[in-house]
Structure 1
Amino acid sequence: MKQVLITGATSGIGEALALHYANQDYAVIACGRNQARLEELSQRQTHIQTLAFDITLAEQVAEAAAQVDALDIVILNAGDCEYIDDAGSFDGALFKRVITVNLLAMGDLLEHFIKKLRTGGQLVIVSSSVTYLPLPRAEAYGASKAGVDYLAKTLAFDLAPEQIDVTLVQPGFIKTPLTDKNDFSMPFLLTAEQAAERIFKGVQKRRKILDFPKRFTYLLRLLSWLPFSWWCWLLTRKKS
């Protein structure tokens, strides 16, 4: 039975992925900070084991990795989103929190879990389609995910000699506890279960970049071709 480790498995996409992989007869190691939520998840599917740790604490990451044997797939999905509502009074603490969770924590996770991958294994890094365009209030979230994109694409080159494939996942809006807090329109919203199914199929095909839903990501790409000055004008005009 193939083994897959998933971070951020206590809710949203991570939880849906854990259940989807378990239902496909994978042995799943579901990771998160909330031990109670992890136990609830493991009771829903016998193929799910749990591992509780905080990805932002290097010692806990190392201790967790020491409990894991060889893996076929590592899915680094854990993340957070906070918005900067007043750029003129820039919230440096908020910025640091988001960058730490979404980007800096990747360093410790990669250090300890890449070496657990078998030859021919797969590393999956979940980012966001927000990186196609600069968006209002997304200074922290967008910057962190742009860094994640670059990291994943570089790893795809450098892990190829190790026979490890890397998939960068760039989803659009997915209904999760994080997006439930959004106070703006979210076009082409998908459920976490729909996202998990698309990720599962894309990883099976060993896709390098997996973005969805296509209606949304194609629209973002089209808008990204506009001169930046036009994009700024559109957004500032909408505010005024």
Structure 2
Amino acid sequence: MRPLNRTITAWAGRRVWLVGASSGIGAALAQELLLAGARVALSARRAELLQGVAAGHPQAIVAPFDILDQDAWAERYQYICEQAGGVDLIVFCAAAYHPERSWDVSPDGAAHTLAVNLGSVYTGLATVLPAMLARGSGGIAIVASVAGYVGLPNASVYGPSKAALINLAELLYTDLRPRGLDVYLINPGFVQTPLTAQNQFAMPALQTPQAAAKAIRRGFAAGLFEIHFPKRFTLMLKLLRWLPYRWRFALITHFLVPQ
């Protein structure tokens, strides 16, 4: 069976826009691809952190901006195109997360998380898709999370936002693959990042950002639609998703809900 996407094994000269590149998975993936020879545009709010990621990589393009500023997307995209000549692959990796039970959620906090995790992706898609569709090539990679597989405690807003990204990636694939574009859905398990550092519970199969970046690169090389890792954890959650609700709720309550 053929891969669902075109495989990416050669990165030299490939133009990548990595949104959310200042820390965690985004920073590690940026460095992984820069070392492989890609031309990577690094975006996030904090320019000084992006400069640190770009250090020693002359082909890096530092392009900081606030992803919640809709007008800034077009300006940054134009700048990146002027520097690199275009974008072959955009990776949406920016995220907001705050561990909270359902009764702790505030309207403002929920709106912010949804705007960062979901709304900004729509703005980014509207920015890059016209040129990709016009030339009939390009790639969209969306970093969601296994928290989007099932309703889990402490992810009262983050989880639903990631579930929406999973749904979005699926429909984008059916829309865009026939028109020559590739769509990748990236679902990490627990990774050591500033976001997961907020968690006050044991995180099974915790990985480093560097390990996550290598897993993502392997997924690109295999042409996968869904890149999920580590398998020993993600496959358990996939199984949980297929269980009847009665069993699923019982397992989640017993093993995952704080007592």
1:183 counterpart SS class: coil
Moved more, 219-228 or 192-201: 219-228
Q: Secondary structure at the match of 1:30?
A: strand
| Counterpart position of 2:46 | 34
Q: Secondary structure at the match of 1:18?
A: helix
2:103 is the alignment partner of 1:91: no
Q: 1:18, 1:30 within 8 Å by CA — same for their partners in 2?
A: yes
Q: Which amino acid aligns with 1:143?
A: P
Query: What is the Cα deviation at residue 89 of structure 1?
Result: 5.2
Whole-angstrom CA distance in 2 between matches of 1:61 and 1:199: 25
Structure 2 residues not aligned, in runs of 5+? 1-12
Alignment match, 1:151: 168
What CA distance in whole angstroms lies between the structure 1 residues aligned with 2:14 and 2:241? 39
TM-score by length of 1: 0.93
> Which residue does 2:241 correspond to in 1?
224
Give the 3-state SS of the residue equivalent to 2:91 in structure 1: strand
Tell me whether 157-166 or 36-45 shows the greater mean CA deviation. Answer: 36-45
Change (3 A) 1:222 1:202: same
Q: 1:71 to 1:139 in 2, by over 3 A?
A: same
What is the distance in 2 between the residues matched to 1:89 and 1:212? Answer: 30
Greater percentage in strand: 1
Higher relative contact order (CA 8 A, sep 6+): 2
- The alpha-carbon distance between structure 1 residues 5 and 133, as it changes in their structure 2 partners (threshold 3 A), is same
Query: CA separation in 2, counterparts of 1:191 and 1:108?
Result: 29
Structure 1, residues 117-170: CA drift from partner, whole Å, max 9, x if none?
Answer: 454321111000112221112120011001111111101011123200100000
How large is the Cα RMSD of the aligned pairs? Answer: 1.6
Which of 165, 170, 173 is equivalent to 2:182?
Answer: 165
- Pair 90,21 (structure 1): closer, same or farther in 2 beyond 3 Å: closer
Q: Which residue of 2 aligns with 1:9?
A: 21
Which residue does the alignment assign to 2:115? Answer: 100
**Unaligned 5+ residue runs, structure 1?**
none
Cα offset for 1:92? 1.6
Partner of 1:205: 222
Using a 3 Å threshold, how does the CA distance of structure 1 residues 158 and 3 change in structure 2: closer, same or farther? same
CA distance in 1, matches of 2:95, 2:122: 14
2:31 aligned residue: 19
Work out which of the residue numbers 181, 189, 211 in structure 1 matches 2:206.
189
Judged with a 3 Å threshold, the aligned counterparts in structure 2 of structure 1 residues 32 and 116 are, in CA distance, closer, same or farther, namely farther
1:230 to partner: Cα distance: 3.1
Aligned residues: percent identity?
33
In structure 2, what is the Cα distance between the partners aligned to 1:171 and 1:67? 30
Give the Cα–Cα distance (whole angstroms) in 1 for the partners of residues 175 and 110 of structure 2.
29
1:107-146 aligned at under 5 Å gives the runs: 107-117=122-132, 119-146=136-163
More divergent stretch after superposition (73-82 vs 35-44): 35-44
Q: 2: distance between equivalents of 1:96 and 1:71?
A: 30
Paired residues in the alignment total 239
Contact map agreement 1:68 1:116 (CA 8 A) in 2: no
Q: Where does residue 78 of structure 1 map in the other structure? A: 94
CA–CA separation in structure 2 for the residues paired with 1:6 and 1:89: 32
| Residues 180-189 or 65-74, more deviating | 65-74
Q: Which residue of 1 aligns with 2:65?
A: 53
For 2:194, the equivalent position in structure 1 comes to 177
Q: 1:9 to 1:116 in 2, by over 3 A?
A: farther
